[in-house]
Amino acid sequence: MGGNFPHRLRIEVLGPLRAWRDGTPLRLGPVKRQTVLAALLLRNGAVVSHEQLLDGVWGADPPASGTKVLASHVNPLRRTLDRTGTRHTESVIRSGKGWYRFVLDGVRLDLADLAELGDEALRTKASGDPAGAADQLDAALALFQGEPLANLSGPFALAERERLLERRRTLRLARLACLVDLGRYGDALDDLACLPDSDHYDESMLALRMRALYGCERQAEALHAYEDMRRRLSHELGVDPGEELRRVHEAVLRQDDGSLLGPAVRATVLSRQGPVRRSVNQLPGDTGQLVGREAELATLISPDTDDAVSVAAVDGAAGVGKTALAVRAAHRIRDRYPDGCLFVDLHAHSTERGRPAPERVLRRLLRSIGADGSEVSDDLDDLMAAWRAVTSSLRLLLVLDDAADAGQIRPLLPAGPGSRVIVTGRQRLAGLDADRRITLESLGTGEATSLLRQIVGRERTDHEPEAVGALVRLCAGLPLALRIAGTRLQTRPAWTLAYLVDRMAGDEGRLVELSAGDRSVEAAFRLSYDQLPLEQQRGFRTLGVVPTVEFDVRTPAAMLGRPAREVEQVLESLVDTSLLQQPRPGRYRLHDLVRVHARRLAEAVPAEAGTAREAALRLYLDAARVGSDWGAGGYPTGPGPSATSFADWREGAVWLDEAGGELVDVVGQAVAHGRADHACWIAEALTDHFVGRGRLHECQAALETALPHADAVADRRMAPALHNCLGYTLTHRARFPEAFRHLRTALHLSRERGERHEEGRALVGLGAMTGLGATGPDATRSDEGASWIVAGRELAERYDDHWLVAMASFALGFVRHAQGRDEEALACFRDAHARGRAIGRPRAMSRALTSNLDLHLYLDPSAARVLFHQVADLVQRTGDVLLHTLTLARLGTAEHNAGNLEAAAAVFRRALEQHGTPAPLDDPDRDRREMDLRCRLGRTYRAAGRLAEAREQFQTALAVPGAHRYPKEHAQAVEGLALGEDPVRSG
């Protein structure tokens, strides 16, 4: 309630006295102080003398200190209710000599809402619109949160309480009269049954009850009720019933439908021929704001066979629009059910009204269809038997809204062939035999935009298209959130959509703004959470701090410190409650707004959240290190494998692959929550995984996220390590000047800090760039580069960094080949291969083998073809798409040179199919490689006599964007086109 007017003071008196400022609850102090506040507040801004205030609060027993005690209550009230810094003369409680006055400007009272809603409802009723009045009276009565001014004492509070209770009685009578006039006799009887005992002596209430009983064809009960009242009045008060009650009694005796029944059913009843049972329609109104549910609606309204009762179950998260869909479908098909359309709210997620017992629901259903169940006992089995017997010959439509479980539904199923039941609930009712099931998801962007446009208006939304998109994203497609946001904009015409978007920044603002009246996104989620067992509540809170949007069972299992099988059961139970989504088998995610709610719940238990977050980060660190080719020697600092470690490198690598593009977010989450050490360790460990998958821009992003925090961690190796990783990554992106700067920084820091491990890595990286001319075409520097590589390899051998030794030999082989020293190059590649075999990872071996075979292709073509087939299979197992493409290019050339032109063409086509797999940002050589592959394929086609296909490949190569930037490949394509009809003999 306090969220209704978040930018003003709101005070409620229709229940316990409560107040909010800017949506924040205020502590109003002890009961006597609240009584003073009420005595000032409810004077409509009038001046109240000290004597009046003392009399109103203390009555005949004023305090000994007299008027001095008033200040001890008024001053704390001012401090509570006024904004900080408010001057005394501008307080909501003004004062003068001998008086106080409460200023109502800028204050919103629920009493004002009651006056506005109640008066409008009574005017609507007087205008002859009982349906509209009933809805308005519902809203007015909902403002009462219990007994007005609850727990307050004193003459003034007692008098005001009586006045407000009388107002509530008037509105209740008016609503009951509307229900009877509408023919909703069962609903009227249900409400009358919930009235306090004092109202059972109310003659007006009894008159309405008698009319409702008569409308349900329970004439005898109506007459008995009158007789009971007559006896009580005579024995206890010595009076007879009043004129109104006597008139209703006489009408019941005469069976006067014309005066007893409501106008909604009177004409039908008066014109009936013989004892025809009146059909009833209890469906709520259709709001007309159902968007984007065409497929689901078609499923619900599709015809059924006439020989059985059909059941449709609609489940989904809170606020996703289940009731709106069910009501729309029911209205579409109600003409198929001549015996009645019934609607029952089962209140599975209601704080104000508990779940009704099945016995009570069955009695209401029996009354709704005109069956007299008074002779049936309260035994559930007896009531079920009566319900099935009565409905066995009827064709009914029954909508059961907000069901808790299948057990709540089964007793209520009708027996008539051709009847239909539509059930909605947050739970997936697996125990219910349903003919069709629908799980509602959030709306797509286009559908959500349409709904927002319907509510706010096309003029405002079309004026701010960017803000509309942002608001749709913040509401995450949830219809309830969109409706609340739209309502806030409807009721605040001065607000722009961009202003509301700004107010929704951050978790707190997002959920605070998604609250209007008695509708709140967080409250809806909280009701689902509160009904979970404690084990599931803890599991749900834990999901709020999972560092990725999507996850498998391993992550929460590590965070909870429990076996995966047990945690999977918890996750599946959360799926069944619609708090958790399962986009594909074994993968889970929270809806965006549900995640915000779960995170807020987790933050309320900081120790639990901290432990869970630490475990999740350790899991990602383990996976990245275990899945890396670097091996134990590559990570000389930081934590060792935890108890949740992975069985082998394959398991770790596959798990990281499933995380997809969210790995960078894990590093960001670690930084955001003050885990800079884990951010650095994880970013470093992910480097080999990212580079091996060709995801170079993600690798750079992760490293640049962690690097600014490297000097703040205790592990002094981290700063040079991350610079080395960035140099390694940028080298693969062909951004050599930046790579060189990072490697030089890494070398400087590692020598300064005595980190010889990182010094070796920096030397190998700098040596490879220098020796291969990446820093400029200076032949005299190749020997310098080679010496750096050798120095780095010696350090790597000293610290058992097998991966770095292999990479050093690999790089040195390229330098020796560039120097024309091919035998030495082969020796280096053989050493790299041997080191790779010692590591035992396919990618470490395949890198060395591929380079080794390049030289074999040049020096020993006959041996190259067989070896390339073996290497291609090995590389494919690594998941390194780029390396596999390069290997296929070499294999195609080997096949071409061996005369196997069809096989060569097939290999080149396969290479072209996957050459585009890495993103353009990650593959600086992408266009050149495509030109090279097409020229190779074109030459093979020409050699096979397939001239038209050859020309097509050469032309396509020249059409690659920026083809002129690659003179070698450009010349090959031009030459291929110029060769005319001459076959090409070299691949």
Residue 198 has a pLDDT of: 60
Looking at the predicted structure, is the pLDDT value of residue 337 above 50? yes
Kindly state the average pLDDT of the residues 80-109. Answer: 88
Q: Residue 985 above 50 pLDDT?
A: no
Query: What pLDDT does residue 275 have?
Result: 40
**pLDDT greater than 70 at residue 266:** no
Q: Is 493 exposed, middle or buried (0-12, 13-18, 19+ CB in 10 A)?
A: exposed
Least confident of 75-79, 352-356, 369-373: 352-356
Q: In terms of Cα–Cα distance, which of 159, 194, 183, 172 is closest to 55? A: 159
Alpha helices, H only, 518-634: 521-530, 534-543, 554-560, 564-576, 592-603, 606-626
pLDDT at 269: 46
Give pLDDT, residue 454. Answer: 86
Average pLDDT value for residue range 673-679: 94
pLDDT of residue 878: 59
Give first-to-last CA distance, the chain, whole Å: 78
pLDDT of 604 above 50: yes
What value does the mean pLDDT take over residues 163-183? 90
- Dihedral of CA atoms 901, 902, 904, 909 in degrees, nearest 10, equals 140
pLDDT of residue 817: 79
Confidence of residue 608 (pLDDT cuts 50, 70, 90): very high
pLDDT in tens, 574-586: 988 888 888 888 8
- In the chain, % of residues over pLDDT 90: 26
Close Cβ partners of 540 (under 8 Å, ≥ 6 residues apart): 529, 532, 574, 579, 580, 598, 601
- Phi and psi for 975 in degrees, rounded to 5? -65, -40
Q: What is the mean pLDDT of residues 845-866?
A: 54
Least confident of 63-72, 844-853, 941-950: 844-853
Confirm if 694 and 918 have CB atoms less than 8 A apart.
yes
Distance CA 870, CA 83 (A): 78
Candidates 663, 648, 742, 741; CA nearest to 697 is 663
Indicate whether 208 pLDDT > 70: yes
Q: What is the pLDDT of residues 116-163, one digit of tens each?
A: 999 999 998 888 888 888 889 988 988 888 889 988 888 998 999 999
Q: Please say if the pLDDT value at position 749 is more than 70.
A: yes
Between 114 and 870, the more confident residue is 114
Average pLDDT over residues 552-578: 91
| Average model confidence (pLDDT) across the chain | 83
Average the pLDDT over 360-366 and give the result: 86
Q: What is the pLDDT of residues 801-811, one digit of tens each?
A: 888 988 898 88
Evaluate if residue 956 carries a pLDDT over 80.
yes
Mean pLDDT of 59-78: 86
pLDDT beyond 50 at 268: no
The pLDDT value recorded for residue 271 is: 41
The mean pLDDT value for 57-63 works out to 85
pLDDT given for residue 491 in this prediction: 79
**Residue 195 confidence class, pLDDT cut points 50, 70, 90:** low
**Around Cβ 873, how many Cβ atoms within 10 Å?**
13
Please give the backbone phi and psi of residue 276, each rounded to the nearest 5 degrees, phi first. Answer: -90, 130
Q: Is the pLDDT of residue 866 over 60?
A: no
Give me the pLDDT at residue 351, please.
54
**How many residues comprise the chain?**
987
Give the best-scoring range by mean pLDDT among 98-107, 667-676, 873-882: 667-676
For residue 676, pLDDT over 90 is answered with: yes
CA–CA distance, 159 with 39 (Å, rounded to integer):
11
More confident residue, 615 or 194: 615
With bands split at pLDDT 50, 70 and 90, how would you rate the model's confidence at 526?
confident
The per-residue pLDDT for 542 is 94
Average pLDDT over residues 423-438: 87
Backbone φ, ψ for residue 584 (5° rounding): -155, 160
Q: Looking at residues 514-528, what average pLDDT do you find?
A: 74
Q: Would the pLDDT of 2 be above 50?
A: no
Mean pLDDT is lowest, of 86-95, 336-345, 515-524, 710-719, for 515-524
Picking from 98-102, 262-266, 497-501, 826-830, which range would have the lowest pLDDT averaged per residue?
262-266
Taking only Cα atoms into account, the Rg of the chain, rounded to an integer number of angstroms, comes to 39
**Is 740's pLDDT higher than 50?**
yes
pLDDT greater at residue 879 or residue 953: 953
Lowest mean pLDDT among 150-164, 643-657, 843-857, 960-974: 843-857
Q: If you average pLDDT over residues 629-657, what whole number do you get?
A: 83
Residue 249 has pLDDT above 90, yes or no: no
- pLDDT surpasses 90 at 926: no
Q: Which amino acid is at 623?
A: A
Q: Which range is least confidently modeled, 450-459, 920-929, 930-939?
A: 920-929
Q: Which stretch of 1-5, 62-66, 537-541, 821-825 has the lowest confidence by average pLDDT?
A: 1-5
3-state secondary structure of 431: coil
pLDDT band at 777 (very low <50, low <70, confident <90, very high): low
Provide the pLDDT for residue 237: 76
